[in-house]
């Protein structure tokens, strides 16, 4: 049994107000029409696009060979009828280009329902707002029972012969399901999806961009750490062992660069700090290396939905000399953060303070994280 997809793309997009047909508006890396095409192509045998009058050639060039392009009508129903005239499939899906992000899975689910014996299938999601009927002059006539209401989406699927019959009288409706209802047909409802929203206004485009991961929230954080040199301790700094250098006193290996980065990441994500996550009341971290703590910190922030954009750390002290091993240190820190973008610098403090007097090492770090 073959399946045709009709993409209704002939609307002018009046409410969007872009001055070009809505189907040709860019959403991320491609137009709404191309998104719709990409999700339907794997599911069907023929695709017919109803193009806005005058845009047939441009759309044919955009979508390439093997796709039928017909001229749309003055109303959506007319546009669908023009496409039905060249439809060859036993089943037909009718889809709005404006529902650019409906998934291939949804198309497959509609087709599966048709193949299991249904003649008309519409995807739908529940209604979140209370819906009232308006009388005249901005007064309410009645309130509908929300539990019995649904928002219907596309692609809607039909036995092609039934949809032709429903369109035969030239009726108009805002979806094809309504035309089937009008001739007494049974319309099956299946689960729709949030991402199949109809893009009507620029605000809807922002929501759609969110589904594509474009609307990330960025947050920054800072962290610092300092330790005094301790006699007979090995030096671990920026994820590296520094042979021949004095180490520092303190909990764990005293890697101030790693600890400052952990704190910056916890600050950026509002997940506490080094002490609250790995403090003395968590004995399992007592001897943890800086690298282990970075790794653990990454797990904690990842579990909270954050990704690292980049991390910077500055080491403050007279020694060791960082410059000779800077790239090695960046690699070690980056590796501990599963390949995150890390930069590292070093400075002295003109002989002043703890580190200038050569009593210890400090580090200050910043982190930028994002969440989709
Ligand atoms: N459509 C169509 N032919 C028409 C009118 C609409 O093919 N004469 C299509 C649109 O391209 C859209 C779908 O039907 O993919 C749903 O319509 P809608 O979201 O209302 O789009 P527009 O009519 O373009 O927008 P507006 O109503 O704001 O002008
Ligand atoms: Mg319209």
Name the percent of the chain lying above pLDDT 90. Answer: 90
- Cβ of 79 below 6 Å from ligand 1: yes
- Cβ of 200 below 6 Å from ligand 1: yes
Q: Is the CB of residue 362 less than 8 Å from the CB of residue 256?
A: yes
Nearby residues of 86 by Cβ (< 8 Å), 6 or more positions away = 48, 68, 70
- 220 is written with which tokens? 């920054």
Q: Which residues pair with 31 in a beta bridge?
A: 26
Residue 100: count of CB within 10 angstroms of its CB:
31
List the domain boundaries for the chain: 3-211, 217-371
CA distance 73 to 165: 19
**Residue 365 clears pLDDT 80, i.e. is over it:** yes
What is the pLDDT at residue 231? 84
Distance of CA 284 to the CA centre of its chain: 36
Distance 252 CA to ligand 2 centre (A): 65
**Residue 252 clears pLDDT 90, i.e. is over it:** no
- Cβ of 23 below 6 Å from ligand 1: yes
CA distance 43 to 106: 10
Kindly state the average pLDDT of the residues 339-368.
95
- Asked if the peptide bond before residue 320 counts as cis, ω within 30 degrees of 0, the response is yes
CA distance 220 to 120: 51
Stronger pLDDT, 215 or 45, i.e. the higher one: 45
Q: Which residues pair with 237 in a beta bridge?
A: 240
**Residue 279 clears pLDDT 70, i.e. is over it:** yes
Kindly state the average pLDDT of the residues 182-188.
97
Mutate to test the pocket of ligand 1, among 22, 69, 99 (most ligand atoms within 8 A of CB): 22
Correct CATH for 3-211 of 3.40.1280.10, 2.60.40.2240, 3.90.550.10, 3.90.1200.10:
3.90.550.10
Contacts for 268-274: CB closer than 8 Å, 24+ residues apart: 268/219, 268/220, 268/221, 268/306, 268/367, 268/368, 268/369, 269/219, 269/221, 269/301, 269/304, 269/306, 269/369, 270/219, 271/300, 271/301, 271/304, 273/223, 274/223, 274/225
**Residue 251 clears pLDDT 70, i.e. is over it:** no
Residue nearest atom 25 in ligand 1 by C-alpha distance: 13
Residue 276: count of CB within 10 angstroms of its CB:
11
**Residue 198 clears pLDDT 80, i.e. is over it:** yes
**Residue 347 clears pLDDT 80, i.e. is over it:** yes
The answer to whether the Cα torsion of 107, 111, 116, 118 is positive or negative is: positive
**Residue 228 clears pLDDT 70, i.e. is over it:** yes
**Residue 353 clears pLDDT 70, i.e. is over it:** yes
Mutate to test the pocket of ligand 1, among 19, 51, 76 (most ligand atoms within 8 A of CB): 76
**Residue 208 clears pLDDT 70, i.e. is over it:** yes
What is the pLDDT at residue 226? 95
The verdict on pTM exceeding 0.85 is: no
At residue 176 the predicted structure's pLDDT band, cuts being 50, 70 and 90, is very high
Q: Is the CB of residue 83 less than 8 Å from the CB of residue 70?
A: yes
Distance 144 CA to ligand 1 centre (A): 27
Q: Which of 273, 281, 315 is nearest to 297 (CA)?
A: 273
Q: Is the CB of residue 318 less than 8 Å from the CB of residue 356?
A: yes
**Residue 294 clears pLDDT 90, i.e. is over it:** yes
Give CATH superfamily name and number for 217-371.
2-C-methyl-D-erythritol 2,4-cyclodiphosphate synthase (3.30.1330.50)
| Burial class of residue 343, CB neighbours in 10 A (0-12, 13-18, 19+) | middle
Tens of pLDDT, residue by residue over 66-116, are: 999 999 999 999 999 999 999 999 999 999 999 999 999 999 999 999 999
Q: Which of 305, 306, 226, 230 is nearest to 265 (CA)?
A: 306
Mutate to test the pocket of ligand 1, among 98, 172, 205 (most ligand atoms within 8 A of CB): 98
The overall average pLDDT reported for the chain is 95
**Residue 127 clears pLDDT 80, i.e. is over it:** yes
Judged by DSSP in three states, 270 sits in: coil
Report how far apart, in Å, the C-alpha atoms of 223 and of each of 260, 264, 279, 344 are: 5, 4, 16, 14
What is the pLDDT at residue 250? 73
- 266 is written with which tokens? 């916890």
- 280 is written with which tokens? 């003395």
Among the ranges given (102-111, 170-179, 210-219, 238-247), the one the predictor scored with the smallest mean pLDDT: 210-219
What is the pLDDT at residue 137? 84
Distance 275 CA to ligand 1 centre (A): 57
Tens of pLDDT, residue by residue over 26-35, are: 999 999 999 9
**Residue 315 clears pLDDT 80, i.e. is over it:** yes
């Amino acid at each position: 049994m073959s399946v045709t997809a009709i993409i209704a793309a002939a609307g002018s997009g009046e409410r969007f107000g872009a001055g070009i047909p809505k189907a040709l508006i860019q959403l991320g890396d491609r137009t709404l029409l191309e998104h719709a095409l990409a999700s339907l192509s794997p599911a069907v045998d023929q695709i017919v696009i109803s193009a806005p009058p005058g845009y047939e050639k441009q759309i044919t060039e955009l979508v390439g060979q093997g796709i039928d392009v017909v001229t749309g009508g003055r109303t959506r129903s007319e546009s669908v009828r023009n496409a039905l005239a060249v439809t060859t499939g036993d089943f037909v899906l009718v889809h709005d280009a404006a529902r650019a992000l409906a998934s291939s899975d949804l198309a497959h689910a509609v087709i599966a329902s048709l193949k299991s014996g249904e003649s008309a299938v519409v995807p739908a999601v529940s209604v979140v707002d209370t819906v009232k009927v308006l009388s005249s002059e901005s007064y309410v006539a009645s309130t509908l029972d929300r539990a019995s209401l649904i928002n219907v989406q596309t692609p809607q699927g039909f036995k092609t012969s039934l949809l032709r019959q429903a369109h035969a009288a030239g009726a108009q409706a805002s979806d094809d399901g309504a035309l089937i209802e009008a001739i007494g047909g049974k319309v099956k409802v299946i689960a729709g999806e949030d991402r199949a929203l109809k893009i009507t206004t620029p605000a809807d485009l922002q929501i759609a961009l969110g589904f594509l991961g474009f609307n990330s929230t960025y947050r920054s954080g800072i962290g610092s750490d300092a330790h005094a040199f301790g006699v007979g301790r090995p030096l671990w700094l920026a994820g590296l062992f520094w042979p021949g250098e004095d180490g520092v006193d303190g909990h764990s290996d005293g890697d101030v660069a790693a600890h400052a980065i952990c704190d910056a990441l916890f600050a950026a994500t509002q997940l506490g700090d080094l002490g609250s996550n790995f403090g003395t009341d968590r004995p399992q971290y007592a001897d943890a290396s800086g690298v282990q703590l970075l790794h653990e910190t990454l797990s904690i922030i990842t579990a909270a939905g954050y990704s690292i954009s980049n991390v910077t750390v500055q080491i403050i002290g007279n020694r060791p000399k960082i410059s000779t091993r800077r790239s090695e240190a960046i690699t070690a820190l980056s590796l501990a953060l599963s390949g995150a973008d890390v930069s590292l610098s070093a400075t002295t403090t003109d002989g002043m303070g703890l580190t200038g007097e050569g009593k210890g090492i400090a580090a200050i770090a910043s982190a930028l994280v994002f969440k989709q």
